[in-house]
Amino acid sequence: MRLITLASAALILALFINSQMLTEEKEPKLKKIFNGKDLKGWKAPEANIWWSVNNGILSVKSDPKKTGSILWTEKSYKDFIIQADFKFGQGTVDSGIFIRTESEQIQIGESGSLKRDMTCSPYIPGKGYPVEAANVARLLKKTDWNTIKVKAVGGTYTVWLNGEKTLEFKSDSAIAVGPIGIQLHPDRDMEIEYRNILCASLD
């Protein structure tokens, strides 16, 4: 009986490993969508005073009037994965990744309405934060680089922070196709940095 049990356990383990390998193989290789030199491939706002690039880092800083800004990809996406490193700077950081539209966002930093950090949680205007990401307080490094990864398949959003899954959420208001955006929230005095921005289409 013990031999049969051990053999069964070994078989289950082998099947699990094989399944994981197949899943990883299906996920396409992430490619740079930020070249670390300039904003090529992105739609910089007119009279840009918010977004700058230096030594591989995309720096985002509020203007004196705190008007806010969004940096959009030139390319539109259907299903995709985006991954980026981010590091909080000075002020009350309120940023995030827009998914195909300004109405679907994965938060990075403090929520203006809740007055607390909601990194990795989805924000949808009119609905607020329908669910909160798990374990972010433990995973988030406030003074160092973090890595966020967002997978959008239709309206299903899966989010990882520093390699750990924190959220899976199904939005009933997602749109099918659109660009990816990075937000500088208005009415904030803040700075945030991004680097190693990678993406892959899944369709």
pLDDT value, residue 203? 84
Q: DSSP code of 133?
A: -
- Looking at the DSSP bridge assignments, the partners of residue 189 are none
Which three-class secondary structure state does DSSP give residue 28? coil
Single-letter amino acid, residue 136: V
Q: Phi and psi at residue 17, in whole multiples of 5°?
A: -60, -40
The residues, any chain, with a CB within 8 Å of residue 55's CB and separated by 6 or more, are: 36
Alpha helices in the chain (DSSP H): 2-26, 136-139
Bridge partner list, 108: 95
Residues 22, 23, 29: CA angle, nearest 5 degrees: 105
CB 30 within 8 A of CB 200: yes
pTM, two decimal places = 0.87
Q: Which residues of the chain have pLDDT under 70?
A: 1-25
Question: Does the structural domain 30-201 have CATH classification 2.60.120.560?
Answer: yes
